[in-house]
Amino acid sequence: MIYNKAAYLMSISLLFALLFISFAGLAEEKQELTVFSGAGLTGAMSEIAGIYENSSNVSVKFNFDGVPALRAQIEQGAYADVLVSANLKHMNALKSEGFMDNHSVVIFVHNKVAIIVPNNNPANITGLQDLAAPGVKILMGTKDLPAGDYALQVLDKLAADPDYGPAFKESVLANVVSLETTVNRVVSKVALGEADAGFAFISDVSPQMVGKVTKIYIPDKYNVVGDFPVGVLAQSKHNEQAQAFIDVIMSDAGQAILDKYGFVPVNVPAKKE
């Protein structure tokens, strides 16, 4: 058989070219960032992820849930690159347990508690005092859920004020008909008329909920300003990309999105209601 050296060399060159194209394609293949986020941040984080994805070769996969559930999943071995938390309690626990890159954790936004009622407001709730009326059906988050924890702190402040007192707190708690595991469930159930009122964050009346529920603001002297932290998980395989995602949250564009959803940006003083 006649050996064609030129054809052989051409075949080898073609093979190397194909291999180069294949490896280049693998190198350019999109990476995926896994972000665990409190459910009440769904809208804002989804928009922020859009900015991040458009400026990088990285896609974002979210797990939205109550923060206590997210913490439990991480402690039980679930993989995540970034945790977006609605309070410091669960973030600090994960930091102390070694699950977080502690130097990466920052406060990215603030929030406050509000009362929400259905738009038709069947119980005619116009202020705090109405929450203690017999027969009023109230929803709260569990005590481990940030929204529930902050609501209890508000009630403690009211109990310490002679204008309300311990009996007021007891009457309000007696009217609680359900403790929810995500703040989104509080809002959606109130919107559906399954309760007369609920304790949520001011940000939880998202653009999608406007026209379905109404916010009643709690005076600042009784309210609690919550700090929301974000950080990179120690297990992350994409540290640089995870930090870049946090940078987008902290950017002017990210903070503007959070402001649009009712959160209080970190560089802007909380508005007095």
**pLDDT tens digit string along 116-174?**
999 999 999 999 999 999 999 999 999 999 999 999 999 999 999 999 999 999 999 99
Phi, psi of 158 (to 5 degrees): -65, -40
Contact between residue 40 and residue 201 where contact means Cβ atoms under 8 Å apart: yes
What pLDDT, on a 0 to 100 scale, did the predictor assign at position 205?
73
The H or E element that residue 31 is part of is strand 31-38
Residue 155 lies in a domain: yes
Residue 135 lies in a domain: yes
Residue 8 lies in a domain: no
If we measure between CA atoms, which residue out of 256, 232, 228 comes closest to residue 33?
232
| Structural domain for 236, as ranges | 28-110+227-265
If we measure between CA atoms, which residue out of 5, 9, 84, 4 comes closest to residue 41?
84
Mean pLDDT value of segment 63-86: 96
One domain for residues 36 and 75: yes
Residue 40 lies in a domain: yes
**Calpha distance 189→192 (Å, rounded):** 5
Q: Tens digit of pLDDT for each residue in 194-248? A: 999 999 998 887 666 667 899 999 999 999 999 999 999 999 999 999 999 999 9
One domain for residues 177 and 255: no
One domain for residues 251 and 261: yes
Q: Tens digit of pLDDT for each residue in 98-118? A: 999 999 999 999 999 999 999
Whole-model pTM: value is: 0.79
Residue 273 lies in a domain: no
Contact between residue 254 and residue 48 where contact means Cβ atoms under 8 Å apart: yes
Q: What is the CATH number of the domain that holds 77?
A: 3.40.190.10
**Calpha distance 187→36 (Å, rounded):** 21
One domain for residues 259 and 206: no
If we measure between CA atoms, which residue out of 195, 228, 210 comes closest to residue 89?
228
One domain for residues 100 and 33: yes
One domain for residues 38 and 121: no
What pLDDT, on a 0 to 100 scale, did the predictor assign at position 92?
97
Residues 6+ away with beta carbon under 8 Å from 166: 159
Residue 272 lies in a domain: no
One domain for residues 104 and 231: yes
Pull the structure tokens for residue 182.
Answer: 């995500």
Residue 5 lies in a domain: no
One domain for residues 125 and 207: yes
Domain ends where: 195, 217, 239?
Answer: 217
Phi, psi of 63 (to 5 degrees): -125, 100
DSSP structure class, residue 210:
B
Q: How far is CA 72 from CA 56, 68, 95, 260, in A?
A: 30, 6, 13, 30
Task: Report the domain count for the chain.
Answer: 2
What pLDDT, on a 0 to 100 scale, did the predictor assign at position 4?
57
One domain for residues 118 and 100: no
